[in-house]
Structure 1
Amino acid sequence: MLKRRNKISPNFSMASMTDVIFLLLIFFMITSTVVSPNAIKVLLPQGKQQTSAKPLTRVIIDKDLVYYGAFGNDKEQVLNIEELPGFLQSCAAREPEMYVALYADETVPYREIVKVLNIANENQFKMVLATRPPENR
């Protein structure tokens, strides 16, 4: 009589392998949220030469939402938002090729900035958005 050998099949449990895969998945999901920032960093170029200066009208909005306006090197004067179109038109009458520079405090809501941009767009003025207030204030 022939004796049969008992074949013992190895039992391999996939449970521990799936646990490891899920732990790795959770690890990579958590670290990927830490690695990618929520804001885009932009390095702006810096020029060494000044561009040809065109006549500039300044509109300044401070943190208290008070509007100031000045043409060229004139001193800033307090304006209402209703007075701004007339002020800009009078500056354009003095110099038709002027640019309007908007200086707004970083706490100013966007709707206030958009109001000034809309006024400039309606009157076809060239706008420049500035990041720092003028140094000679």
Structure 2
Amino acid sequence: MKVRRNKRFHAEIAASALSDIMFFLFLFFLIISTLANPNVIKLALPKAKSTAQTHKSHMSISVKVEEGQPNQYYMNQEKVPFDQLSLRLAEHVQRTQDSTVIVRFPYDLKVQDMVNILEIGESQRLKFVIATSK
């Protein structure tokens, strides 16, 4: 009686070194991703090509820029000084329970002026939508 030997070769991959490398890569990307978090203000930005419209009941803030003059701020077409903007927004939200604000910024507005307005909304947890033209 002839006995056959099992001569099949089974390939193996040593995975212990690969798991160590994956662990170190995971730690590296985890640390880097926490360092790369810039200070941002969350906005709901509409697309300029869309035809979606918002409700008329939302509060509207507009900024008018004239050369050599200080910026003029309007809430629903009523002129408001910048230092009273936060108070007037809070009153409107309490009265209407609507936390959505449509902001209209001119194309030549300085970034810092825009951020100052957005910080007011961020402190009151408002939803800002920037109006665009088609």
Q: TM-score range by the shorter chain?
A: 0.5 to 0.7
Paired residue for 1:46?
50
Percent identity between matched residues is 17
Does structure 1 residue 100 correspond to structure 2 residue 101? Answer: yes
Are 1:67 and 2:73 an aligned pair? yes
Aligned 8 A contact 1:68 1:79 in 2: yes
State the SS of the aligned residue for 1:118: helix
**Which runs of structure 2 are paired with 1:1-137 in the superposition (5 Å)?**
44-47=48-51, 50=52, 53=55, 55-64=57-66, 65-70=71-76, 76-132=77-133
Could you tell me how far apart the structure 2 residues matched to 1:130 and 1:45 are? 12
What RMSD in Å do the two structures reach over aligned CA positions? Answer: 2.1
Q: SS where residue 55 of structure 1 aligns? A: coil
Q: Post-superposition shift, 1:96? A: 1.1
Relative contact order higher in (CA < 8 Å, ≥ 6 apart): 2
Amino acid at match of 2:75: G
Structure number with larger C-alpha Rg? 1
In the TM superposition, residue 97 of structure 1 has moved relative to its aligned partner by: 2.4
Distance 1:90 1:112, change over 3 A: same
Aligned residue pairs: how many? Answer: 83
**Structure 1: which 5+ residue stretches go unaligned?**
1-42, 71-75, 133-137
- Deviation beyond 6 Å, 4+ runs, structure 1: none
Q: Partner amino acid for 2:60? A: R
> Taking structure 2 as the reference length, what is the TM-score of the superposition?
0.55
Gaps of 5+ in 2: 1-46
Residues 55-77 of structure 1: per-residue CA shift (max 9 Å, x gap):
3101100123111112xxxxx11
> What is the distance in 1 between the residues matched to 2:78 and 2:117?
16
CA distance in 1, matches of 2:58, 2:97: 11
